[in-house]
Amino acid sequence: MKKSMIAISVMALIGSGAAMAASGGTSNPAGVAVGNSNHIMFGGGNSGVALNGAGSYIDLAGGPIKGSNTAIAARGNGTILKATDMGLPLPIDVAQVWKASATQGTSKFVINSVRQITTLSFAPQFGGLVIGQVANASGVPLAVGSGVYFGEWAPRAAGTPPSNSTDLNMGSNNRTVWYVGDNPTTSMPTLTNATYNVIGIQGVGTASNNLPTAPKLYGGTLTANYVAGGSNNFLTGSINNGTNTVSFAGTTILATGKFGNGPGGAPGTIEGQFYNNASALAGIYKVDGTPAANVAFGGSRSN
C-alpha cells in the first residue's frame, strides 16, 4: 500500500509539472482559453484549448489535428471528419476539415482548418477552428513537447450547416485569436539581431482568396535583440498581407520570454511568447471591439 501511495504521488507530481508547461494567450477567454489539455477523451497534458466556455482543455495535437489528418489521409482535403476518425465508434459526421502548408522565407508552417457540422454533447464545440503550427525545415510540425500553435476560432453557425462549405463563421463578433506552446521560454537567452520568419492568420474562409485550402496569410520578418538587464530589448519589424500591416514597433521583450507593446512589455495590441529556447515565437495582435481585425501569428528563427 505504501509503495502504491508513493507511486501515485510521483505520478501526481509529474502530472502537475506537465500541467504547468503550456503557455499562451487569447483575445477573448470566453471564446478560447489556453492551457494544458485535460479533456476526458482528448487530454494528454500538452498544449490545449478550452472552447466556448468549456471547463476542460482539448489536446490540439491529439484531438482536432490528429483527427483531421486521419480523415484527410483517408479521403482527401475538404473531407468530412467522422467520429471514427477521432477514435469514437459512432456513425456521426462531425466536421469538414482541410490542411494547407505555408512557407515564409526559410520557415515552414502547417495549417489545419475545421468547420463543425454536428454538435455533440460529450465532445468539444469546435465551431470554426483554424490551427497554425510552426514546422521544421522539412515542413513537419514540431513534435509534441515542442509544439507551437496559433490560430482563430468562431462559434458554430446557427441552424443546420451544409455538408460542404468553406464558411468557418469567422465573420462572427465572437471570433477569437489565440496562441499556445508546449515549451515556453521562461528565461531569455541573449539575442543579437535574431531574425524570425513569421506568418499571421486572419479570417480564413471569409473571402474567395482566403480559403482553408490556400489561406491568405500575413508574412514578414521580425528582429529580436535581448540582453539580460539591457535597455534595448525589443522585437521589431512588421508582417503584412498585401493590404494590411501589423507593426511591432515598441514591442518589448521581457526576461520571462514574453513580449508586448504595452507599458513595460505588458500585453497591448501585441502580446506573445518565445518557445523552445527562443527558436520559435507566437502571439496575437488584437484591436478591442474589432474582432475581424485581430491576427494570430507564429514563426521560427531563421539565423
Rounded Cα gap, residues 266 and 207, in angstroms: 33
Inside any domain, residue 287:
yes
- 0.85 exceeded by pTM: yes
Q: Which residues contact 49 (CB under 8 A, 6 or more apart)?
A: 32, 33, 34, 57, 58, 60, 153, 178, 180
The answer as to whether 209 is a domain residue is yes
**Average pLDDT for consecutive 10-residue bins of the chain (303 residues)?**
31 35 95 94 90 93 94 97 86 94 98 92 85 98 97 92 94 97 98 98 97 98 97 97 95 98 98 98 96 98 97
Which pLDDT does position 21 carry in this prediction? 82
Q: How many domains does the chain have?
A: 1
Sheet arrangement for strand 176-181 = 23-26, 176-181, 148-154, 128-134, 107-116, 93-104, 80-82
Range of the domain at 250: 22-301
pLDDT at 89: 86
With respect to residue 15, please indicate whether it lies within any of the assigned structural domains.
no
CB of 219 closer than 8 Å to CB of 240: yes
Q: Which of 166, 127, 150, 186 is nearest to 283 (CA)?
A: 150
**Quick check: is 8 in a domain?**
no
How high is the pLDDT of residue 290? 94
Structural contact between residues 181 and 136, judged by C-beta atoms closer than 8 angstroms: no
Residue at 12 is within a domain? no
Residue 289 lies in a domain: yes
Measured CA to CA, the distance from residue 215 to residue 104 in angstroms comes to 13
Q: Is residue 7 part of a domain?
A: no
Q: What pLDDT, on the 0 to 100 scale, is given for residue 18?
A: 38
Domain-embedded: residue 13: no
